[in-house]
């Protein structure tokens, strides 16, 4: 499912069906889910670019929280075996040093709050339906087909344009970046691990 606001049909491998659906529309989501008997659901949809989230808080809430709720309600009639929810490092408090899963959650911004709410919805869904639920807190995913003006694509673009001096903005912030290929592999392994647990 994709509303194609950021994604593109041509990015899908041949033979993969695409259902153009907006998660904010419960009826549309329900109709689409009823067409597909999903055993595994990977929920990646979110408004995540912070300036967009801050500039349209109501839209961010509709997509990130209400959209998740709509999807889960549609799945509740025939729950999948596994739901994997892509959350974010933004659920953690700001801190220096490494962040582990044991660190307390304390989101600093609206985006982090919406993802934490999504985690809660998915956890409750698992409890109520018996579906296995996985939550992956992703950190700054970058890679090919980036659709938001983040720092790494900006650096690449400046270098392509032959700049002699990079303009980077805030130099006091530190980030760990994760390539989208590695994220896809990690999510795949999470799902395989869940599958192995069932056998």
Are the C-beta atoms of residues 117 and 61 closer than 8 Å to each other? no
Q: What is the pLDDT, as a whole number, of residue 196?
A: 56
Start-end of H helices in 23-139: 26-35, 50-55, 57-61, 67-75, 110-129
In whole angstroms, give the CA distance from residue 199 to residue 8.
36
Q: Greatest CA separation found in the chain?
A: 58
Q: What is the pLDDT, as a whole number, of residue 199?
A: 38
List strand residue ranges (DSSP E) for 63-198, in order: 82-88, 132-138, 141-142, 178-179
Residues 40-54: b if buried by 16+ CB within 10 A, e if exposed: ebbbbbbbbbbeebe
In whole angstroms, give the CA distance from residue 88 to residue 90.
5
- pLDDT tens over the chain, length 199 residues: 999 988 899 999 999 999 999 999 999 999 999 998 899 999 999 988 888 888 999 999 999 999 999 999 999 989 999 999 999 999 999 888 888 888 999 999 999 999 999 999 999 999 999 999 999 999 888 888 877 777 787 888 889 999 888 888 777 777 788 899 999 999 999 999 875 555 3
């Amino acid at each position: 499912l994709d509303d194609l606001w950021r994604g593109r049909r041509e990015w899908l491998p041949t033979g993969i069906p695409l259902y153009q659906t907006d998660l904010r529309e419960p009826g549309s989501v329900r109709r689409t889910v009823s067409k597909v008997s999903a055993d595994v659901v990977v929920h990646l949809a979110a408004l995540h670019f912070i300036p967009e989230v801050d500039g349209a808080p109501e839209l961010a809430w509709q997509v990130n929280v209400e959209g998740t709720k709509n999807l889960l309600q549609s799945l509740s009639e025939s729950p999948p075996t596994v739901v994997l929810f892509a959350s974010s490092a933004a659920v953690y408090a700001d801190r220096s040093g490494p962040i582990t899963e044991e660190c307390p959650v304390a989101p600093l911004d609206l985006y982090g709050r919406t993802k934490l709410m999504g985690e809660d919805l998915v956890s409750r869904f698992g409890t109520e339906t018996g579906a296995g639920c996985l939550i992956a807190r992703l950190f700054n995913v970058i890679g090919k087909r980036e659709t938001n003006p983040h720092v790494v694509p900006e650096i690449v673009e400046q270098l392509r344009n032959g700049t002699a001096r990079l303009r980077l903005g805030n130099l006091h912030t530190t980030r760990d970046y994760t390539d989208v290929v590695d994220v896809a592999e990690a999510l795949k392994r999470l799902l395989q691990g869940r599958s192995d647990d069932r056998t």
